[in-house]
Structure 1
Amino acid sequence: MKLFKRTWAEISLDNLAENYHNYYDKVAKNTNTDIMCVVKASCYGHSNAAAAPFLQNELGAKWFAVSNLDEAIRLRDMGITGEILILGYTAPEEAAELEKYDIIQAVLDIPYARALSANAVKAGLKKGVRCHIAIDTGMTRIGIRGTAEQIAQGICEIAAMDKLLAEGAFTHYAVADTLTEDCISYTEKQTELIYAAADIAAQRGTALKTVHSLNSAGGLFHYTPRSALARLGITLYGLTPDRGLDLPIDVKPVLSLRSTISQIKEIDAGVDISYGRTFTSKNPMKIATVTCGYADGYPRALSNVGEILVHGVRCPIVGRVCMDQFMADISGVEAQAGDTVTLIGEEGGERITADDIAALTGTIGYEIVCGISERVPRAAYYKGEQVGIFKL
């Protein structure tokens, strides 16, 4: 695949490796906790084709988590042989596909388990569907909810169902990235509940092999040796779970977003720019048109508030961001059509992060990187060399 110079993302596999190793050394080294790489949403917009095989083949990752069956099958098709857990819903009618591709399915609740079991029996599965039972300890999203006793009863009931192979259970922290006294206490209660339920289930003859509670922030701030896995998500890609959170490890952003100047024009005072005439020049200005827009996942909310880097100089966006283009004030900067500009990343000692953009647009860094669209190619680099160009 050829990289056409319009708008593209650069994926640093060196930074991905460093983030993985730093987290592993902090959470998993010399412990019984393994790392589960969360690669849903095509590795949070970084391209699972670029990152997932690298995680397995170069870094030795053995566990992966995705959102849905499509993502799981795609991993298998690209050669991922490790364990794959679907964290969300799969239609019970797809029981045969789960067995065929050796995928572990999250069991959302008892009615879902019954439906999945019935479909597995109907399909005549030889072994059955491997499962991790979701436990709702305080996220109020998916999972069995109740007291430790009630949750344990649910675990035992699900484990006894035909053609369901209950191998584990998991929960998800709601505020592991918030270190107030109240939120720390809330996380501790979530932790206590899942392992108390697992203990009661084991006492009743249903001992689950893989029980896990840790997410990215959980592993760093609320580590428990009882968690068989730490689900390494956003931190793997060099972003923080919360913008204001100082991490106890060094992480580097894996993704940079670059674009191109297509045209430069000199304008006088009193000239309107872009749709809606939301910006009018007060003085003569030099305006660059940049070949990126909201169809590329660059937020329209950056209109008149965002900045880009042009040869290491911060330049403000003027006027509304269009579908495929936007304009920036590059007055005082030497540039020409065809020059590369940085929308996310480092250049000339300056840096714009996905979290910076999120702060300007009222969201989180997760949404910014996940929102970079499919038409933006991802060029992966490792040890100074381009190793591939990938789509989402």
Structure 2
Amino acid sequence: MNETVTAATAPLRARAEIDLGALRANVRALRALAPDAALMAVVKSQAYGHGALRCARAAVEAGATWVGTATPEEALALHAAGLPDGVRLMCWLWTPGGPWREAVEAGIDVSVSGMWALAEVTAAARAAGVPARVQLKADTGLGRSGCQPGEDWAELVGAALRAEREGVLRVTGLWSHFACADEPGHPSIAAQLTVFREMLDHAEAAGVRPEVRHIANSPATLTLPESHFDLVRCGIALYGISPSPEIGTPADFGLRPVMTLSASVALVKHVPGGHGVSYGHHYVTPGATTLGLVPVGYADGVPRHASGTGPVLVGGKWRTVAGRVAMDQFVVDLGGDEPEPGAEAVLFGPGDRGEPTAEDWAQAAGTIAYEIVTRIGARVPRVYVDGQDGRDGRDGRGAPEKLGGPGGDGPARVDLDPTGHADEGRAR
């Protein structure tokens, strides 16, 4: 279900506002950092919680020429929904018996890390009567997927070249992934680059002519120009979040967080001192105060580990989660303030209105900002707005989406996906 609503007439329990204008601006900033490389917009796991189809299309509008997913099912859904002509799709997380033939027929670039995968994709290509687009992945030190250097790499490259000569596949890429690019100066970074170059040299000497060679993820795109090669793969940076505080803030790289998570305060009440709050009474009011009930909880992705520490902006003031985060709700101590029920509680956003950021929540929960945005659940509607890049407030469907206020004009209109993700696989 989809509908266009006005913010004034459609109060929501909670909303994750996704600023597609900010996303496009982030793509342009990242392209400027890697001007000689193409850019892949990584939209795995529903674009880190932001909505895969809408974010993929916005990224392409700003100059991304590749779109990447983890699973083939994610890539096939995007292919079915429709992306602009000429955009290349790639996926890399395969298991035996996966939908190889469907991916081959869709023209999706598939990653191959070993002989079993090469055997399955070549069989699928023969059955489909279409050459597969294969990217060979090298394990240069991460220790996850990817082919080991040495004899294993030589065997895989040789077998792929034989299949290419038979017309069964085309080796379109050679690639790898960093382990510690978000830790500036880590010795593994230089070591992996050395191994990657050696594995490239071996494959190219054997006769591989890849269209793209790539190893750079978001942190490498931001800080390691020597790693950019032909293509950079940007995930978390696309959504305006720094890969790690050690690298810098989003603003240091001209990035702006894309998601703002907020909820409507459901209840405000006076309580005396000594009043226990939430399960276990891990918080007890130090004196007479007011409590505000915020109707989101760990079922919506609010981390329970942030009980007693998670920051929230209510009425222009930072408040802290009081007691435990429950499945559907948590409480804040308002210190005597009395906002009206329905007042906005902002959990995180770009930070320029004084609200916390996803990084603040990551620190509060002892995790990373990637997890904070990605875990926001499907029952939180994604509300798509277009407020940062000077466009006219129209997305690829032509629906007005610009919010009033800064970057907007006139009545606030937003495009609402009430289920969060249910419409992402439908063509528009």
Which range is displaced more, 125-134 or 359-368? 125-134
**Offset of residue 348 of structure 1:** 7.9
Alignment counterpart, residue 276 of structure 2, candidates 269, 272, 278 = 272
CA contact (8 A) 1:50 1:388 kept: no
Alignment counterpart, residue 70 of structure 2, candidates 67, 70, 76 = 67
CA contact (8 A) 1:216 1:235 kept: yes
**Offset of residue 186 of structure 1:** 1.9
**Offset of residue 200 of structure 1:** 2.3
CA contact (8 A) 1:95 1:129 kept: no
Q: Structure 1 runs of 4+ off > 6 angstroms?
A: none
Looking at structure 2, the residues matched to 93 and 366 of structure 1 have their Cα atoms a distance apart, in angstroms, of: 27
Aligned to 2:149: 146
Alignment counterpart, residue 103 of structure 1, candidates 108, 112, 115 = 108
Alignment counterpart, residue 388 of structure 1, candidates 402, 409, 415 = 415
Unaligned ranges ≥5, structure 1 = none
CA contact (8 A) 1:198 1:207 kept: no
Question: Is 1:135 the equivalent of 2:138?
Answer: yes
Looking at structure 1, the residues matched to 246 and 340 of structure 2 have their Cα atoms a distance apart, in angstroms, of: 37
Alignment counterpart, residue 162 of structure 2, candidates 148, 160, 163 = 160
CA contact (8 A) 1:110 1:144 kept: no
Alignment counterpart, residue 314 of structure 1, candidates 318, 322, 325 = 318
**Offset of residue 48 of structure 1:** 1.4
Aligned to 2:367: 363
Aligned length in residues? 382
Looking at structure 1, the residues matched to 33 and 350 of structure 2 have their Cα atoms a distance apart, in angstroms, of: 27
| Counterpart secondary structure, 2:349 | strand
Question: Is 1:198 the equivalent of 2:200?
Answer: yes
AA in 1 matched with 2:239: Y
Question: Is 1:169 the equivalent of 2:196?
Answer: no
**Offset of residue 120 of structure 1:** 3.5
Residues 62-86 of structure 1: CA distance to partner in whole angstroms, max 9, x if unpaired?
1011011221122122221411110
Aligned to 2:91: 86
Aligned to 1:10: 17
**Offset of residue 230 of structure 1:** 0.3
Aligned to 1:300: 304
Alignment counterpart, residue 48 of structure 2, candidates 44, 48, 67 = 44
Q: Say if 1:295 and 1:244 are closer, same or farther in 2 by CA, change over 3 A.
A: same
Q: Say if 1:265 and 1:216 are closer, same or farther in 2 by CA, change over 3 A.
A: same
Percent sequence identity over aligned pairs: 29
Looking at structure 1, the residues matched to 320 and 98 of structure 2 have their Cα atoms a distance apart, in angstroms, of: 52
Alignment counterpart, residue 340 of structure 2, candidates 332, 336, 339 = 336
**Offset of residue 195 of structure 1:** 2.5
Residues 39-77 of structure 1: CA distance to partner in whole angstroms, max 9, x if unpaired?
111111011133112222x31321011011221122122
AA in 2 matched with 1:177: D
Aligned to 1:23: 30
**Offset of residue 93 of structure 1:** 4.7
Q: Say if 1:130 and 1:339 are closer, same or farther in 2 by CA, change over 3 A.
A: same
Unaligned ranges ≥5, structure 2 = 388-401, 404-412, 422-428
Aligned to 2:409: none
**Offset of residue 92 of structure 1:** 4.0
Alignment counterpart, residue 245 of structure 1, candidates 247, 256, 265 = 247
Looking at structure 2, the residues matched to 150 and 76 of structure 1 have their Cα atoms a distance apart, in angstroms, of: 32
Residues 353-385 of structure 1: CA distance to partner in whole angstroms, max 9, x if unpaired?
111111111110001100000111111111343
TM-score by length of 1: 0.92
Looking at structure 2, the residues matched to 99 and 234 of structure 1 have their Cα atoms a distance apart, in angstroms, of: 28
CA contact (8 A) 1:293 1:323 kept: yes
**Offset of residue 118 of structure 1:** 3.0
Looking at structure 2, the residues matched to 91 and 55 of structure 1 have their Cα atoms a distance apart, in angstroms, of: 31
Aligned to 1:256: 260
**Offset of residue 155 of structure 1:** 1.7
Q: Say if 1:19 and 1:347 are closer, same or farther in 2 by CA, change over 3 A.
A: closer
Looking at structure 2, the residues matched to 354 and 204 of structure 1 have their Cα atoms a distance apart, in angstroms, of: 46
AA in 1 matched with 2:174: A
AA in 2 matched with 1:237: Y
Aligned to 2:424: none
TM-score by length of 2: 0.84
**Offset of residue 242 of structure 1:** 1.1
Compute the RMSD of aligned alpha carbons. Answer: 2.0
